[in-house]
């Protein structure tokens, strides 16, 4: 399994190519963003059918990464809206806003599916068709409500996922795919940031002194999975390598060491929990293929606190369900 290509791995005389530059590297076309050469895939012919398949896939992906209970059928949109509008408790209102967003996404997907079916029957579907406008309105409103939705971890939202179906609906497919490469480049960058923070945190602590290779192998596997589509023939090797590398990191055992007057004694149990938190965060980012800036920033801060104090600050309690 080839590693993700960093800038220093590129061929040619240009040391700093512009974002969006494409090259053939090791027989594979790659596009340059955020210092990485990212694997590209053919763009489907821009049609309503292709957009339907993409929006359906993006909607499934959305519900797969968000908190539970949001996959409300589009047929219940009016119920979801009334319940949201009538709610006064701030906590319940947030959740009901998220449920309304889910219903809006499903309604938009339902409309688009029917439009494609009509087109297949020979009915001309114009961009200013009333149903097309209604579909766009549903996806746009859902995107605006996406700020109320949390990632399944309960730590933060991923606004990017809520905007993708609307962008797929409203811009050419080629532009949509290019925007995804930009986001993948940002994700690869943050995977390296988290891995670097873990190495900086643990490599100087004797009990964890040999952990760096285990972290690096997992981060590399995470980056390769991030740039690899599920339909890629390599996905079987890519996913199994990611899972097993994550297991090796989660099962890492610190070495017992004697303390000789060290000003800071690092709690090994806290350290192991911090390692597993980092493993989980990298999994979340990799599967979503988009950055989680709040979680990344807070995790790096927790690593710094652990280095300084030997203890890890408590995480907020996760959401139920």
Phi, psi of 32 (to 5 degrees): -95, 120
pLDDT in tens, 169-215: 888 999 999 999 999 999 999 999 999 999 999 988 988 989 999 99
Is residue 317 assigned to a domain?
A: no
Residue ending a domain, choose from 170, 205, 221:
170
The whole-angstrom separation of Cα 215 and Cα 210 is 10
In a domain, 100, yes or no: yes
Percent of the chain whose pLDDT exceeds 90: 51
* Total domains, the chain: 2
> Is pLDDT larger for residue 73 or for residue 171?
73
Q: Parallel, antiparallel, or unpaired for β 22-25 and 28-33?
A: antiparallel
Q: pLDDT by residue (tens digit) across 130-142?
A: 888 898 899 889 8
pTM over 0.95: no
Distance separating alpha carbons of residues 266 and 111, to the nearest angstrom = 57
Q: What backbone phi and psi angles, to 5 degrees, belong to 314?
A: -70, 145
Q: Are residues 165 and 194 in the same domain?
A: no
pLDDT bin (cut points 50, 70, 90) of residue 48 is confident
Q: Is residue 141 part of a domain?
A: yes
* Same structural domain, 106 and 53: yes
Query: pLDDT-based confidence at 14, cuts 50/70/90?
Result: low
Question: What is the tally of helices (H) and strands (E) in the chain?
Answer: 10, 4
* 28 part of a folded domain: no
What's the whole-number mean pLDDT along residues 219-235? 95
- Of 3-12, 13-22, 29-38, the range with the lowest mean pLDDT is 3-12
Tell me which of 138-152, 171-185, 208-222, 288-302 is least confident: 138-152
Answer for the pair 170, 243: CB distance below 8 angstroms, yes or no. no
Residues 147 and 232 in one domain: no
Same-domain check for residues 183 and 293: yes
* Phi and psi angles of residue 29, each rounded to the nearest 5 degrees, phi first: -70, 135
- Let me know if residue 9 belongs to a domain: no
Q: Is 252 inside any structural domain?
A: yes
Name the residue with tokens 């989680």.
292
If asked whether residues 164 and 195 sit together in one domain, one would say: no
Residues 157 and 107 in one domain: yes
Confidence of residue 225 (pLDDT cuts 50, 70, 90): very high
pLDDT of residue 321: 41
Same-domain pairing of 193 and 279: yes
More confident residue, 55 or 37: 37
Q: Are 40 and 65 in contact (CB under 8 A)?
A: no
Q: How far apart are CA 86 and CA 234, in angstroms?
A: 49
Residue 316 — pLDDT band, cuts 50, 70, 90?
low
Q: Taking the chain, what is the end-to-end CA distance rounded to the nearest angstrom?
A: 36
The lowest-confidence range among 27-41, 58-72, 157-171, 298-312 is: 157-171
142 & 79 share domain: yes
Q: Which residues contact 68 (CB under 8 A, 6 or more apart)?
A: 152, 321
Q: Is 69 helix (H, G, I), strand (E, B) or coil?
A: coil
| Per-residue pLDDT at 235 | 95
> From the centroid of its chain, how far is CA 144?
19
**Does one domain contain both 281 and 198?**
yes
In the predicted model, what is the mean pLDDT of residues 214-226? 97
Q: Which of 140, 170, 200 corresponds to the end of one domain?
A: 170
Asked whether residue 22 is domain-assigned, the answer is no
Q: Which residues pair with 25 in a beta bridge?
A: 28
**40 burial via Cβ count (<10 Å: 0-12, 13-18, 19+):** middle
CB atoms within 10 A of CB 289: 20
* Co-location of 164 and 257 in the same domain: no
Partnered with residue 30 across adjacent β-strands are: 23, 39
Q: What is the mean pLDDT of residues 254-259?
A: 70
* pLDDT exceeds cutoff 80 at 272: yes
What number is the average pLDDT over the span 25-39?
Answer: 93
Asked whether residue 31 is domain-assigned, the answer is: no
Residues 199, 303, single domain; the answer is yes
Match 């409309």 to its residue by tokens.
111
Give the distance between the most distant pair of CA atoms in the chain. 81
Give the CA radius of gyration of the chain. Answer: 22
Task: Look at residue 11 in the predicted model and tell me its pLDDT.
Answer: 44
Listed residues 113, 135, 170: the one ending a domain: 170
Same-domain pairing of 166 and 227: no
The values of phi and psi at residue 311, to 5°, are -130, 155
Residue 228 belongs to domain spanning: 179-309
Identify the bridge partners of residue 22 per DSSP, sorted by sequence position: 31
């Amino acid at each position: 399994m080839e590693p993700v290509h960093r800038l220093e791995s590129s061929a040619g005389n240009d040391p700093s190519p512009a974002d969006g530059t494409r090259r053939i590297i090791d027989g594979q076309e790659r596009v340059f963003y955020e210092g990485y050469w990212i694997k590209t895939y053919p763009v489907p012919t821009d049609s309503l059918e292709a957009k339907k398949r993409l929006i359906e896939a993006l909607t499934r992906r959305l519900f797969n990464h968000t908190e539970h209970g949001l996959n409300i059928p589009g047929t219940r949109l009016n119920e979801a809206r009334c319940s949201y509008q009538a709610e006064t408790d701030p906590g319940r209102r947030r959740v009901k806003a998220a449920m309304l967003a889910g219903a809006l996404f499903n309604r938009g997907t339902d409309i688009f599916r029917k439009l494609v079916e009509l087109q297949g029957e020979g009915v001309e579907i114009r961009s200013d068709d009333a149903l097309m406008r209604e579909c766009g309105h549903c996806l746009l409103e859902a995107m605006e409500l996406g700020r109320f939705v949390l990632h399944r971890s309960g730590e933060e939202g991923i606004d990017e996922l809520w905007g993708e179906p609307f962008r797929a609906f409203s811009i050419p497919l080629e532009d949509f795919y290019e925007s995804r490469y930009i986001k993948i480049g940002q994700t690869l960058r943050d995977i390296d940031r988290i891995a670097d923070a873990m190495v900086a945190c643990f490599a100087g602590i004797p009990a964890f002194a040999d952990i760096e290779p285990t972290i690096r192998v997992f981060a590399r596997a995470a980056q390769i999975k991030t740039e690899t589509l599920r339909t890629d023939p390599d996905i079987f090797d890519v996913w199994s390598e990611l899972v097993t590398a994550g297991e090796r990191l989660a099962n890492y055992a610190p070495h017992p060491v004697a303390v000789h007057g060290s000003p800071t004694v690092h709690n090994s149990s806290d350290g192991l929990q911090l390692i597993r938190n980092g493993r989980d965060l990298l999994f979340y980012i990799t599967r979503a293929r988009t950055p989680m800036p709040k979680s990344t920033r807070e995790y790096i801060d927790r690593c710094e606190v652990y280095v300084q104090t030997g203890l890890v600050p408590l995480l907020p309690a996760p959401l139920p369900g």
